[in-house]
Every structure is written in C-alpha cells, then in structure tokens.
Amino acid sequence: MTERAVFLTGGSGLVGAEVVSQLRAADRRVIVLTHRKQTIVDSAGREFPATDFAADPAAPVTYVCGDVREPGFGLSTELRAALAERVEVLVHSAATTDFAAAEELYQELNVGGARNAAALALEWGVPLVYVS
C-alpha cells in the first residue's frame, strides 16, 4: 500500500515551513505546492530538502509547482490523479499577508486560493484544513 501524505500549500512561507517541520518531526510525508520557491526553511533555520514529486513520489518531502489562484492549482489532470492516490489531507496555508497589497491580489490569493483548495479537497475526497 502507498504511504499517504499531507498536501500543503504555502509550504515555503513562514507558517507553512513550520507545518512542514512539525509534520516531519512526526515522521509524516509532505507534498508541498510551490509557486516559485522550492526551499523550505523553518524558524530554527532547519532546511527541508524537497524532491520533485515526479522524480520520486515516495520521498519524505516532495514538491509540485502550481498556483493556488488557478482551478486545480493549475496542475494537470494526470498529476492531480497521481496526487489523489497519495494525499490523505489537504492543508491550505498559502496567502498574502502584505497589508499594502492590492485588493485584487487579496481576492485572487486569499479568497480564490481558499475556493480552489476546497474544490480540490472535494475532488480528492480528503479533508481540508484551512490555516487563517
């Protein structure tokens, strides 16, 4: 049987990196959705090397590149199907916290991202944990 994993958005951010750190301390597998940055460093400076999910889906920490602003996070149908076989819960922590950001960016990232996370959790039939 395939070991299940936590799918995490915002894993390279301040909160998300701490979630990765805690999950790894509990020996949990993590799949991180990343937009630009594949480096995950927690507040203690510990780096969690992430492997491309396509190269080694069984690695302790893997990443896929996507965009929470897009339906299905911009992931292909094939990749979403492969992830559905491995993901047991979707944790959504991606958001902008820039108080000077334009309203449009807040809507796209914070509102649209949450909507897309909920839709993907439904597609995969897994629980959604929303970090606010």
* Cβ–Cβ under 8 Å, residues 83 and 39: no
3-state secondary structure 60-81: CEEEEECCCCCHHHHCCHHHHH
C-alpha 55/C-alpha 78 separation (Å) is 15
pLDDT tens per residue, range 83-110: 999 999 999 999 888 888 898 888 888 9
The pLDDT of residue 1: 56
* Cβ–Cβ under 8 Å, residues 59 and 67: no
pTM of the model: 0.93
